[in-house]
């Protein structure tokens, strides 16, 4: 599966558009991470617990989007974007979305 954040795939033609695909996950903060983050806020620096949480969330959302694209028969997803939003205090949604397409190599 080819994944790009552009409208086209270099070296390929879009033969068919399958449609919009998306994947999302909602994650809650871990109390231990919150306590560690509170201390880190006092001295500054990266909140590694939250960085890991967001990395896991992006991977899960991307995986779900790709699964949906495969079910539609696509071999690529173009215009991929990520977005996040707060759902409730302590929980956030990560969403990946794009356009599922079938690409074929360009004829030379």
Return the domain boundaries, the chain: 2-105
Q: Which CATH class is domain 2-105?
A: alpha beta
Stretch 33-56: mean pLDDT: 66
Specify the pLDDT at position 7: 96
Stretch 96-103: mean pLDDT: 98
pLDDT at 51 over 60: yes
The DSSP call for residue 89 is T
Q: What does the alpha-carbon distance between residue 102 and residue 108 come to, in Å, rounded to a whole number?
A: 19
Q: Quote the pTM value.
A: 0.82
Greatest Cα pair distance in the chain:
59
Q: What does the alpha-carbon distance between residue 97 and residue 20 come to, in Å, rounded to a whole number?
A: 7
pLDDT at 31 over 60: no
């Amino acid at each position: 599966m080819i994944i790009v954040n552009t409208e086209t795939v270099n070296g390929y033609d879009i033969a068919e558009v399958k449609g919009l695909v998306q994947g999302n996950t909602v994650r809650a903060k871990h109390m231990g991470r919150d306590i560690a983050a509170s201390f880190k806020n006092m001295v500054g620096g990266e909140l590694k617990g939250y960085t890991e949480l967001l990395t896991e969330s992006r991977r899960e959302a991307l995986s779900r989007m790709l699964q949906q694209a495969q079910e539609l028969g696509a071999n690529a997803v173009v215009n991929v974007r990520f977005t996040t939003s707060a759902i409730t205090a302590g929980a956030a949604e990560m969403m990946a979305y794009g356009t599922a397409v079938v690409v074929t190599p360009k004829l030379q």
